[in-house]
Chain A
Amino acid sequence: MRLQILFTICAFLQSLCVALSHDKLLKLSEKGPNNVIELTDSNFKRVLGSPRDSYILVFLTASAPQVGCSICLEAADEFKMVANSWFTDHPDGASTRGKEARRLFFAKSDLKDAQHIPQIFGFYSLQHVPRLLLFSPGEDINKYKIIDLAGDPGQERALQIINSLRSATNIDDFNLHLPVDWTLSIVIAVLTFVAVYIFKRHRSLVAKLVNMRPLWAIVWTLFIILMLGGYMYNNIRNAQLAGVGPKGEVLYFLPNQTQNQFKIETQVIGVIYASLTVSLLFLIFGIPKLKDFYKGSKSGQLLEAASTILFAAIIYAFFAGLTAVFNIKQPGYPYQLMKLSALFK
């Protein structure tokens, strides 16, 4: 009889301990951004090592630009999406649908600075980032299960993570909640409003704008320049903005690759093409206008000749730049133009 009481007390105490740990985790998790516990060098052993009755999903990642891990950045969003989905349905981090409550918390450690590698990375002797480790209740710091990152980036991968979690933890009521993106609706609403308003109030102005040929010309010429710069490639392939070189410097051009590019290349090439177009148009339109304006005067002739040569030189400079950039993409390109700057070296 006494023994039984002792057992009861023990069990009660034990459950109290565990319950404390759950509350503690909840508190910790509420402290962190998006309900994610930040693992630091000082706390990770305590969080993962102390006895617990909750699952913890640990996300190990490296957002430092020197590492150049683009999947990490995508995975961080997906991790955030998963954590938010969980806490939308279960504010206290526990699912009570099954016989016993199942608790799940999220923790994260991020290598933000290449100089300082968090201890947890060394503790688990990490070879790859990003990594998702699932710690089960009642087990120690060395036992975990790896959750795979599978599928296409974004929604689909977040869904995959949730599915793996569901099967690993037997939690049924874990659904993906997408963050509602209002921006598009708002933008459309505002634009419609503005368009209708302008059309109502300033009909003649709108008619003038619609009939303005140079406006159409500029819009569509810019569109073509954008397309020629590989804009669709960026969209379809979800290209990286820029790269990181071996010494940690920023790379603007993906070298040796004519089939692939960074997003920023489109901008650089767009500027080159646009400048060339503007200079060409100036040569074709501007110079004859200038000539008419200064008809007959000696200084006008000089000005005309000087500006003509100037624009020819600008075209040469940009074209030389273009071939130089192309040489990065296709090394050994034989018909590179000599750069103007080479004259002054």
Chain B
Amino acid sequence: MSVHKNDGVRGVILPWVQTLLTVTIFVAMFGAAISSRLFSVIRFESIIHEFDPWFNFRATKYLVSHSFLEFLNWFDDRTWYPLGRVTGGTLYPGLMTTSGAVWHLFRKIGLPIDIRNICVMFAPAFSGVTAWATYQFTKEIKDSSAGLLAGAFMAIVPGYISRSVAGSYDNEAIAITLLMVTFMFWIKAQKRGSILYAALTALFYFYMVSAWGGYVFITNLIPLHIFILILMGRYNSKLYAAYTTWYAIGTLASMQIPFVGFLPIRSNDHMAALGVFGLIQIVAFGNFIKSQVPSEKFKIVMVVSLLVILGVGVAGLFTLTYMGFIAPWTGRFYSLWDTNYAKIHIPIIASVSEHQPVAWPAFFFDTHFLIWLFPAGVFLLFLELKDEHVFVIAYSVLCSYFAGVMIRLMLTLTPVICVAAAVTLSKLFDIYLNFSKDEKKLDYSSLLSRLVVSGSFIYYLYLFVFHSTWVTRIAYSSPSVVLPSTTSDGRPALIDDFREAYYWLRMNTDEDAKVAAWWDYGYQIGGMADRTTLVDNNTWNNTHIAIVGKAMSSPEWKSYQIFKQHDVDYVLVIFGGVLGFSGDDINKFLWMIRISEGIWPDEIKERDFFTSSNEYRVDSRATKTMKESLLYKMSYKDFPALFKGQGQDKVRGQAISAADVEPLDYFEEVFTSENWLVRIYQLRDEDPEGRDLHDVGLFERNTKSARKRNSKKPSLEMRV
């Protein structure tokens, strides 16, 4: 927005018009940001999505029904049975406390709202704030017209919507907002050398630490920014004031979070910030000396001493880490740099679909044409290269690498894509959308060329809106608790098997019954069925997860022993073969095997589950170990009978016949959902006559064979 010097009426009206426009634009931005995230509520219902949000929701409910101190001291004995989890000390409380505060605020002003609705609408509401923070951030980088573009991009870009639709009540929902606010204050602080802004940066950094584990990204990016500036010889007292204020307040504040504790001085993830803090003191001291004793020789002394100090620092870090005073990098961090690390050492990290590398279509899918404006924007910033541009460049380079390695980090890349793309586009518009008549006569050829360029880019913007809406609609608006589907005559229908099964658990089982299921469903069972689980999505104990994996992949008698030792009453499996739901347990089976093989390499062998021709089969050619495994038996029990003897597994595309599925002797089927998606089995009681349950089963089958079989299958019609 250029400032016009004209006098008179124009001078009075223009600022008003500008203000009015800006306000309108912001209102529109908030509206777009919020409404485009409501697809899932409109198409399904106001429901918490996926897996992790169910835990956050459960924790929030605990917070609003207990006091804050009780919340921080919460020991949860209903998860990770029999270990339990020190939930209050191992969660990031930022999300729950914020929604708790909102809930209390609304109650105070006489608007009592169900906590569930606050949790569902939480992410859309904060996305508007993110757009505003992106505007402020970009305004500092270029000007307010670039800022408006960046804010608008941020409001509807699918890469951010992916984690902030209504119902996706996850840490990221608030973390990206805080990330952008922190960065915005940081840029303001380092530009002005303002202690106020630096303190605000620290404050929001603290908020971020309380909300998301990804705060480590800020902890490393800001020191990197300073470090690069020092290397470029751009040290000045403004940087000193901003950085030291931020580091001192931010670090002390972050240590107040129970889960973080003394990590900032004891973990390698935080050492870069500490190192730069030390470095900037030395540089400041050196600068002070230099201003007192002007000499050419001093420069050499300065450089050499800096190098020596750097060397000593790095060596000291290694020694301290080696001697165990400083915790080494976390596994997730290693796997970012050494991309094979997780696959070899921590299969549980590699197994998470969020940690997979990204192929190029995902970038385009999530950002449309911003993806090719982004490199040009980085190039433009390089040519100008003010101090704050260095920050954006370091951010883009690091994050484009991280996002390529792990798909979940696409979320942190998206804001900088919006910023850099907005810089490119606004530079372009500065030239080609400038129709002010400062030239003497109208030049038609020039006008035409400008119209072509600006017209085509406005058309791309128009497409971007449609693309974003389309992506949000098809990819990011499914709660994955309720699955969309169509009936045979083409009408939309919902597959509600999960809730059906969890509701069954809630109503028909003992209140402290223990349910064993693969960890993916732990949070949902806890949140929706309110039953005790063995493992859940907080994957803090690999061995415990491996126990469940071992039980699932072992023969029945062995699984029964393992489950009995852990007091398990019910076993829940997800089976998609009837429906064609590909995210079921048989498809996740290999990870169960791999994780338990990591602990018991003698008992579980991945090789045994592959046929001699190296195929993963579940039909008659499946290996003996496969057919004997508990998961196989539980998934396919009575499945062939459903299709009169030969069942076609719609996920694997293989035919299973009745002869492939051996009977279950130690477990009893108690529930199978409408579309067979969830199957629940109960552990049989031990035989009162002391026989082995397998022998009992054999005996009963022999005596019963003459009689007609009494099936307990639910007599519901299938819906396809």
Contacts and interface: CB of A to CB of B under 8 A. Distances in A.
B614 A149 contact: yes
A230 B360 contact: yes
A298 B417 CA distance: 40
B453 A329 contact: no
A167 interface: no
B109 interface: no
Contacts of B470: 334-335
Interface in B455-508: 456, 460, 463, 466-467, 470
B275 interface: no
A221 B378 contact: yes
Nearest to A318: B372
Main secondary structure of the interface of B (DSSP, over half): helix
A304 B372 contact: no
B373 A233 contact: no
Given A150-B607, A276-B372, A330-B365, A127 B613 contact: yes
B446 interface: yes
Given A216-B382, A258-B361, A236 B405 contact: yes
B372 A261 contact: no
Nearest to B365: A258
Contacts of B373: 280
Interface-central residue, B374, B432, B445, B614, by most chain A CB under 10 Å? B445
A269 interface: yes
A302 B444 CA distance: 10
B372 A319 contact: yes
A197 interface: no
A315 interface: yes
Contact of B456 (A127, A229, A316, A326): A316
A273 interface: yes
Contacts of A214: 382-383
Contacts of A277: 372, 375-376, 379
Interface stretch (A100-108, A240-248, A305-313): A305-313
B382 A220 contact: yes
Given A150-B607, A225-B375, A304 B449 contact: yes
A91 interface: no
B320 interface: no
B607 A284 contact: no
A23 B376 CA distance: 67
B302 interface: no
B398 to A, nearest CB: 10
Contact of A284 (B339, B358, B427, B448): B427
Contacts of B371: 228, 273
Nearest to A127: B613
Contact of B400 (A224, A315, A326): A224
A135 interface: no
A308 B403 contact: no
Contacts of A272: 372
A309 B358 contact: no
Contacts of B670: none
A259 interface: yes
A326 B364 contact: yes
Nearest to A269: B360
Contacts of A5: none
Contacts of B376: 221, 276-277, 280-281, 284
Contact of B467 (A218, A220, A280, A335): A335
A217 interface: yes
Contacts of A230: 357-360, 363, 404
A217 B383 contact: yes
A273 B375 contact: yes
Nearest to B353: A259
Interface in A196-233: 213-214, 216-218, 220-221, 223-225, 227-233
Contacts of A150: 607
28 contacts: A216-B382, A221-B376, A223-B397, A227-B401, A228-B375, A228-B400, A228-B404, A230-B363, A230-B404, A233-B357, A233-B359, A233-B404, A235-B339, A235-B357, A259-B359, A261-B360, A273-B375, A277-B372, A280-B428, A308-B432, A308-B450, A309-B448, A309-B453, A322-B372, A334-B466, A334-B470, A335-B466, A335-B467
Sorted nearest first, the 9 A-B pairs with minimum C-beta distance are A217-B382, A232-B404, A308-B449, A305-B445, A230-B360, A305-B449, A261-B359, A227-B400, A258-B361
Interface of B: 339-340, 356-365, 369, 371-376, 378-380, 382-383, 385, 393, 396-397, 400-401, 403-405, 424, 427-428, 431-432, 443, 445-446, 448-450, 452-453, 456, 460, 463, 466-467, 470, 607, 612-614
